[in-house]
Structure 1
């Protein structure tokens, strides 16, 4: 019994020593490096400063205004630029800590936008399509995360957002994926690739690829064409990929550069196809000339169209018999013989003379 107790104590001592060793091996934050809380507060103002610089419309360039506003954010927190740069390098090397910090920054930026109405230096805090609802002919159907961060390390360089089609999705619908990106970096960010992938009911897959260029809005759209415009989509996927430091080593970018890309106001807009103006189903062989005539007819709809003059037939010369029959004729009571003399009206007191005999 005594022997078993000693073995248990020995096991506990060994376990405690191992835990102590693990804790002591955890890297401590060097002196002169901002705490995670300080970094969060500073990066929020850093983000707002970049938005204000983009909204500036004066004579100075955007880069000049960005530098001025960022300097003002550092002065507000009483932090030297060298301390901020060193902190960014340190946290970029510790990607897990930096990811947590950036996630908190996203939450605070979103909260500022919801409370103040504008949190991006004059831009709509909820994005270009914030006023759209999830219903209607043009709807923002994305209800997932609105903000996130990408960094050039293998754990945080890929974003995949998937949306399953609902019952309001129809054949012929068009889609636009949108976000507003802002870089948090000392140098130039690597080339970020964006891809929009659509799956259809007949197992057809369509993709559109674009690039995300730093501090600006990004939109990528797809509108189906025949025969896909008659097939209903089943899902839409957006993928955002940032190359890692190892993949961009040939571009002269080192691991000591602090780089991060803040994605905000993420939206997926679905647009129903507009109904045809007329109910006639045009034949597949309709020419472009016929289409032009149809459009011309639509533009003059409602206007009075003058009636075309009717052709009047030429008068034919009548035959002599027709002319004779067309002449008026005297009635029977008025007819008389051609050589008959009219009867002499008798005079009173006069006797007609007799012819003399020879």
Structure 2
């Protein structure tokens, strides 16, 4: 009887310890910038980098704007860098931050006057007739140079909705946060057709910009499989150096291209009205008077920085 009681008490204690272990989530260390403040700092950091790119990128300007953000939050550069290293090694926490940050940056872009097409060519497409967004992964990815979070692989099997001659357009926005060293990543898009031939497109990612890859199948080939990956390259750097690549607004658009359709975008300058005829003589239509250009946006990254109290270094 005593032995059974002892076993029961031991099992109860073990169960209690396990419940405590499962119920307690690891907290952010006190010497690390907490998620809410880190999100605000990264938001201002991205605004600053947008200002640097707009006015002419240089290492000196990048450093000056970064320090301006640190000054606003009264955080040392060492603490900011150490916090980034922490979040880089805990990508689940960093991903949560960037999910919210992506929405804030998109709202800021709209406030500055960016059009919907500038934000993302196909951002609102789910399925519109002959054009469908077939991407099923996360719209935001965060990569570091260290495995296993240095790559994101995708694999899509085509179904009966794919037609001969379909065109694929992979698009995304890239944003680097690099302490030092080169910005270096690659994206590969590979298509396998019904006859097992393969078409592969490769592109290097080395800047903060909107990126696109396009594959045209021709009018006689049906897509069987789509594969590819994003890969951030490590390069020669110490493990204490942080490098992050944020990929946002990821879309993989499949377009049904009808036979004879041009593979280049329509250009309103080259698209002339057809010549009309009166009594057999050609008559060129009178061109419509030009409409005045829309007023340029009045709000810039510099304005946004000033509103948020970030010093504007020359």
Q: TM-score, normalised by structure 1?
A: 0.60
1:238-285: per-residue Cα shift (whole Å, max 9, x none)?
3112245xxx4xx2x1110111100011122334335338xxxxxxxx
Aligned residues: 266
Q: Distance in 2 between matches of 1:75 and 1:254?
A: 27
Q: Which one of the candidate residues 256, 263, 276 is aligned to 2:240?
A: 256
Q: SS at the partner of 2:82?
A: helix
Residue 230 (str. 1) matches residue 220 (str. 2): yes
Residue of structure 2 equivalent to 1:315: none
Residue 211 (structure 1) shift = 1.4
Q: Distance in 2 between matches of 1:137 and 1:18?
A: 54
Q: SS at the partner of 2:3?
A: helix
Residue of structure 1 equivalent to 2:165: 172
Residue 152 (str. 1) matches residue 145 (str. 2): yes
Unaligned runs of 5+ in 1: 278-298, 306-358
1:288-331: per-residue Cα shift (whole Å, max 9, x none)?
xxxxxxxxxxx9998979xxxxxxxxxxxxxxxxxxxxxxxxxx
Q: Which one of the candidate residues 221, 225, 229 is aligned to 1:239?
A: 229
Residue 81 (structure 1) shift = 1.7
1:10/1:222 Cα in 2 relative to 1: closer, same or farther (>3 Å)?
closer
Task: Tell me if structure 1 keeps the 8 A contact 2:183–2:207.
Answer: no
Residue of structure 2 equivalent to 1:74: 70
1:142/1:120 Cα in 2 relative to 1: closer, same or farther (>3 Å)?
farther
Residue of structure 2 equivalent to 1:46: 45
Q: Distance in 2 between matches of 1:134 and 1:52?
A: 36
1:13/1:139 Cα in 2 relative to 1: closer, same or farther (>3 Å)?
closer
1:122/1:180 Cα in 2 relative to 1: closer, same or farther (>3 Å)?
same
CA RMSD in angstroms comes to: 4.0
Task: Tell me if structure 2 keeps the 8 A contact 1:40–1:101.
Answer: no
Alignment of 1:316-327 (within 5 A): none
Residue 83 (str. 1) matches residue 79 (str. 2): yes
Residue 143 (structure 1) shift = 5.5
Residue 195 (structure 1) shift = 0.8
Q: TM-score, normalised by structure 2?
A: 0.67
Q: SS at the partner of 1:187?
A: coil
1:215/1:159 Cα in 2 relative to 1: closer, same or farther (>3 Å)?
same
1:23/1:190 Cα in 2 relative to 1: closer, same or farther (>3 Å)?
farther
Task: Tell me if structure 2 keeps the 8 A contact 1:45–1:73.
Answer: yes
Taking CA–CA contacts closer than 8 Å with sequence separation of 6 or more, which of the two structures ends up with the larger relative contact order? 2
Q: Distance in 1 between matches of 2:154 and 2:111?
A: 24
Q: SS at the partner of 1:237?
A: strand
Residue 205 (str. 1) matches residue 198 (str. 2): yes
Unaligned runs of 5+ in 2: 262-273, 282-314
Q: Distance in 2 between matches of 1:302 and 1:272?
A: 35
Residue of structure 1 equivalent to 2:311: none
Residue 144 (structure 1) shift = 4.2
Q: Which one of the candidate residues 107, 113, 136 is aligned to 2:99?
A: 107
Q: Which one of the candidate residues 41, 58, 61 is aligned to 2:57?
A: 61
Task: Tell me if structure 1 keeps the 8 A contact 2:176–2:183.
Answer: no
Residue of structure 2 equivalent to 1:191: 184
Q: SS at the partner of 1:175?
A: strand
